[in-house]
C-alpha cells in the first residue's frame, strides 16, 4: 500500500516541520546569556530576592519550582500575573529566553 505509506511519510514530515517551528531549546548566545542573568538578578531579584529565596514575590528556588510545569512558568514570566505585582516581560523576552530563565532557576541561582 504505497499510498498509505506516502501519507504517513508526509504526515511525519509535517510533524517534524511543526516541531522545528517551536524550538524552545534555541541557542542563546553568550552575550545574551549574560544579559539574561543580569536581568534575573537585578530586575527579578528586586522582588524575588537576589538569591531567589523570595521577597515581595515568592521564592523561585529549584525546590519551589519542582512541581511547576515549564509551560505555566513561561506564561507567568511572559504575561505576568494579573492583579499582582508580577509584570509580564514579553516586551523584553522571547519564549525561548523565558524558558532559558526557567532552566536557570531550576539549576539554582546563587
**Judged by CB, which is closer to ligand HEC: 24, or 87?**
87
Q: Give buried/exposed letters for 79-95 (b at 16+ CB in 10 A, else e).
A: eeeeeeebeebeeebeb
**Judged by CB, which is closer to ligand HEC: 2, or 83?**
83
Question: Is the Cβ–Cβ distance between 107 and 33 less than 8 Å?
Answer: no
Residues near ligand HEC (CB under 6 A) are 39, 43-44, 46-48, 56-58, 60, 68, 73, 76-77, 81, 84-87, 89, 101
What's the chain's length in residues?
110
How far apart are CB 6 and ligand HEC at their closest, in Å? 45
Amino acid at each position: 500500500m504505497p499510498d498509505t505509506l506516502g501519507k504517513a511519510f508526509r504526515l511525519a514530515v509535517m510533524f517534524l516541520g511543526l516541531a522545528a517551528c517551536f524550538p524552545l531549546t534555541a541557542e542563546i548566545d553568550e552575550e545574551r546569556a549574560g544579559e539574561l542573568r543580569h536581568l534575573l538578578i537585578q530586575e527579578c531579584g528586586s522582588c524575588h530576592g537576589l538569591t531567589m529565596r523570595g521577597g515581595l514575590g515568592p521564592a523561585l528556588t529549584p525546590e519551589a519550582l519542582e512541581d511547576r510545569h515549564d509551560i505555566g512558568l513561561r506564561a507567568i514570566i511572559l504575561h505576568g500575573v494579573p492583579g499582582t505585582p508580577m509584570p509580564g516581560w514579553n516586551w523584553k523576552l522571547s519564549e525561548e529566553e523565558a524558558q532559558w530563565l526557567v532552566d536557570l532557576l531550576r539549576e539554582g541561582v546563587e
